[in-house]
Structure 1
């Protein structure tokens, strides 16, 4: 058995795609790398019992040359007894339609076709022909562009894409080894003339930069591949730690995230950056590619001692805003409008979507005491209430008479003293009576009005639930 075949068999031993009865789609361009990949998979399938399907895309870039490649792939697959699906896709027209560059457009249409072939053939795996030289080129390209450790990890050996898995069995094998295997086993292949076009950065790296670097270090390709392996392992570890840190440090807040500044400051600076990048990657749809300076600016804004209120535009409609001990990363929050909902009687429920809150009113007969969760629950003497009550947000000049305080206080001042973020102040619901007196500010204080006593009549119990108090998302309507 060929030495390279033995090596690939050994490196992929135990992987699920090799199980008998499974189907693997091989992406075959017609070049030496993918043709050797197809030959290796065919040989392994004969002993392992999985099925191989070849898939080729003619991008219509190179006219007769591309047509000849397509014929080569179909003819070879037929000779080897491998099912083959091909597609001729007008990528130039797609470029004109989308404005993508040729490489991006070709890749997008190619992967779309590969996914279609996998679905039709019942395959869960797509095999790609990237090899060690491709990895070295990728790492060097990213290094030149200023990539971080995640970028230096290069091309992954495996990647999940929904129900499909993309694998690269040749990623540790050099181009030279693949060509030698092709010679030993008479594997036909085509030459892609576009690979000599230095207009493409990858070609310039392959043809000019790497040979120049090899004059200083003949093993530079192996060094770059080794760097990618180390970067991948360390990046995987850091990603895992960043996800743990995110769970401890931040919670979802609408379409964004609320970050606890105290816990964020306690993280190593490397995890601080990772946590911010992780949050940005959760954007729907993911569309962020921030440079080092942008991440640094966001982290610095969170940890800075002063000022207490900061707002940073981080692009694509997202902001970082910091108020007191909480930082928010997410889409710009729209200004809250005025809202008010009537409470006709002592037994009903009121949904307040602006605050993501639900007020539940019920009548209780008999003495009551304030429960431990009194920030979110209040009791009022029914006979002392002026119905109809209302749930509304603040109004200019609102004053509140808190229980235990002689006189009144501006609601605005209460919010400032309680360090309520500015963005929340117009969204907080207040319970008021028919005369406009504020009875209760849930989460903060209740008023001195309508206090129940043992001699009082029925008591109205009011409880607030919902995302407003981070207990979930509940809804209700008045009955």
Structure 2
């Protein structure tokens, strides 16, 4: 087995001479074999090797003895031992997690701290080929993306260094034989036999059946994962170009938005890959809770003839469509607070979004008229002006139309995003007649041929900080 692991390590360039290596050790056969392997190569590679071990406090005295066993073996093999105990049950209750999630968070928190304190280059984990096969089959059964079929990564960045998994290329059987050949007597965790846990169920019930049909299942799934990984790396490179060209990524808080037509102009393979890159950005590479169902919902949003729609996704993520734009963001959008204020001549009113409305009296002819300016005969308006948000039943009329139209329908016609409508400024005079739906429609009935004085209202967009 050592020769196979040596070749695997070299193939994926897992180590460099004179590095500091932390080996995660539980006391079971996988991690004990891994620790022994590093014991055999540390002189050749001039490595500084330490064992890091966590008692999760889940099995009472048994888990305490596991920690003591690892410490004893480290003393025997002249390897530094760093151990700790964590309270998984309390943590999972506080954060509403399941046992495995809580244990993993606390375990990796300890590993990260030790990596930083030791300035370590590598954290070695004992996952093996059968773990990889179990992971891929589990994801297939639950539903996953092609990226999910890459399985457990051989290496990944972690705490200023990287995680490596030297045993991913060998089987559980090979590890057990290695322990026997080197007279290693690992501790056995009885909970590993409990099939109420999903992974144990697949390990003890599903994988043996599949291996009866194909004894080389582990090897074949490993090769499949590597082929998919290579394909994914290429697609990721191309998809990143799509994100750079047409997708807006925001920080604090994280959100993503893009134009639907521009996004759909790319091949479907790049659209799909871009979707998963977006999830990786939003979830910091930890988007395991997503499945084909969410992917289907996303592409339904792209293709369905809808103007406004929302979906709630795992972890508080919200998917929102407003006409030709899709936005993904965390948390509930706060409902705008209605406002109403007077606007006197010469005053300026600041709107909630930082934009401003100002009113003044001007004289002359051929005054500027644009979407940000409203001008009318002052004698036709009863002051002071009122700035407010829309109300149920609001209607207005404008030049060239007969009758009136609901403000609600104007918003729909103008494709104003739904979340902006309740804060959109409406300007009326004291009689309640709508003069201006700012930036969209200007009322009529306030003009004369040669007025001496004009009322001019000006809208200014928010000023950017410099």
Maintained 8 Å contact 1:133/1:221:
yes
Q: CA deviation at 1:303?
A: 1.1
Root mean square deviation of aligned Cα: 4.7
Query: Retained in 2: the 8 A contact 1:30–1:70?
Result: yes
The structure 1 residue matched to 2:156, chosen from 155, 159, 162, is 159
Which blocks of at least 5 consecutive residues in structure 1 are unaligned? 467-471
Write out aligned runs for 1:306-317 (5 A).
308-309=306-307, 311=309, 313-314=311-312
In structure 1, distance between residues paired with 2:194 and 2:61: 18
Residue equivalent to 2:373: 378
Residues 413, 93 of structure 1: CA spacing in aligned structure 2 closer, same or farther, 3 A cutoff? Answer: closer
1:391 paired to 2:390: no
Contact 1:133 1:174 (C-alpha < 8 Å) held by counterparts: yes
Q: Deviations over 1:375-417 (max 9, x none)?
A: 4x33758978876545322234545565x64777434443333
Does the aligned pair in 2 maintain the 1:378–1:446 contact within 8 Å?
no
CA pair 442-288 structure 1, distance change in 2 beyond 3 A: farther
C-alpha displacement of 1:115: 2.5
Shift of 1:56: 0.9
2:85 is equivalent to residue 88 of structure 1: yes
CA distance in 2, matches of 1:95, 1:340: 47
Query: Structure 2 vs 1, CA of residues 342 and 125 (structure 1 numbering), >3 Å: closer, same or farther?
Result: farther
Deviations 1:120-146 (A, max 9, x none): 333364321112221122112222333
1:243-322 paired onto structure 2 within 5 Å: 244-245=241-242, 251=248, 260-270=259-269, 289-305=289-305, 308-309=306-307, 311=309, 313-314=311-312, 322=321
Contact 2:21 2:49 in 1 (8 A): yes
Question: Matched residues in 1 for 2:199 and 2:364: separation?
Answer: 80
- Structure 1: how far apart are the matches of 2:455 and 2:140? 70
Q: Choose which of 123, 142, 146 in structure 1 pairs with 2:143.
A: 146
8 Å Cα contact 1:272/1:299 also seen in 2: no
Q: Distance in 2 between matches of 1:332 and 1:264?
A: 25
**Cα 1:446–1:166 shift into 2, 3 Å:** farther
1: distance between equivalents of 2:282 and 2:42? Answer: 41
Q: How does 1:320-331 map to 2 (within 5 A)?
A: 322=321, 324-327=323-326
Aligned mates of 1:151, 1:106 — CA distance in 2 = 22
1:429 corresponds in structure 2 to: 425
* Gap change, CA 1:101 and 1:251, over 3 Å in 2: closer
Shift of 1:190: 0.7
Q: Could you tell me how far 1:57 is from its partner in structure 2? A: 1.5
Structure 2 residue 28 is the aligned partner of structure 1 residue 31: yes
Q: Give CA deviations for 1:256-299 in whole Å, capped at 9, x if unaligned.
A: 66553434544545555555566666668988834434542443
Partner residue of 1:469? Answer: none
Cα distance change on mapping 1:125 and 1:432 into 2, 3 Å: farther
Comparing 63-72 with 108-117, greater Cα deviation is found at 63-72
Task: Name the CA shift for 1:266/1:19 in 2 (closer, same or farther; >3 Å).
Answer: same
The 1-side partners of 2:67 and 2:342 are apart by 71
SS at match of 1:171: helix
State whether residues 374 and 436 of structure 2, in contact with CA within 8 Å, keep that contact through their aligned partners in structure 1. Answer: no
Distance 1:370 1:49 in 2: 79
What's 1:174 paired with?
171
Partner residue in 2 for 1:352 = 351
What is the number of equivalent residue pairs in this alignment? Answer: 456
| Preserved contact between residue 358 and residue 465 of structure 1 (Cα < 8 Å) | yes
Higher alpha-carbon deviation: 189-198 or 360-369: 360-369
Separation in structure 2 between the aligned mates of residue 347 and residue 19 of structure 1, nearest angstrom: 72
Q: Classify 1:239/1:431 alpha carbon distance in 2 versus 1 (closer, same or farther; 3 Å).
A: farther
1:168-226 Cα deviation digits (max 9, x unpaired):
23322334554565566x47341414244444443444445434333332211100111
Quick one: structure 1 residues 417 and 213, their matched pair in 2 at CA, closer, same or farther if it must change by over 3 Å?
A: closer
Partner deviation per Cα, 1:407-451 (whole Å, 9 max, x = no partner): 774344433332334443322223455665545444424557999
Bigger Cα displacement from structure 2, 308-317 vs 153-162: 308-317
Counterpart in 1 of 2:188?
192
- The answer as to whether partners of 2:5 and 2:167 remain within 8 angstroms in 1 is no
Q: Structure 2 CA distance, aligned partners of 1:142 and 1:58?
A: 28
Taking the aligned partners of 1:430 and 1:442, their CA distance within structure 2 comes to: 6
Q: Single out whichever of 231-240 and 96-105 deviates more from structure 2.
A: 96-105
Between stretches 187-196 and 308-317, larger displacement belongs to 308-317
Asked whether the equivalents of residues 58 and 70 of structure 1 are also in contact (C-alpha less than 8 Å), the reply is yes
CA contact (8 A) 1:259 1:328 kept: yes
With structure 1 as the length reference, what TM-score do the two structures score?
0.74
TM, length-normalised to structure 2: 0.75
Structure 1 residue 154 displacement after superposition? 1.0
My pick for the range that moved more, 224-233 or 257-266, is 257-266
Counterpart for residue 7 of structure 1: 7
- 1:116 matched to 2:118? The reply is no
Match among 132, 146, 155 for residue 129 of structure 2: 132
Q: Does the 8 Å contact 1:158/1:168 carry over to 2? A: yes
User: 1:456 & 1:48 partners in 2: Cα distance?
Assistant: 92
Alignment match, 1:223: 220
Q: Verify the 8 A CA contact 2:341 2:386 in the aligned structure 1.
A: yes
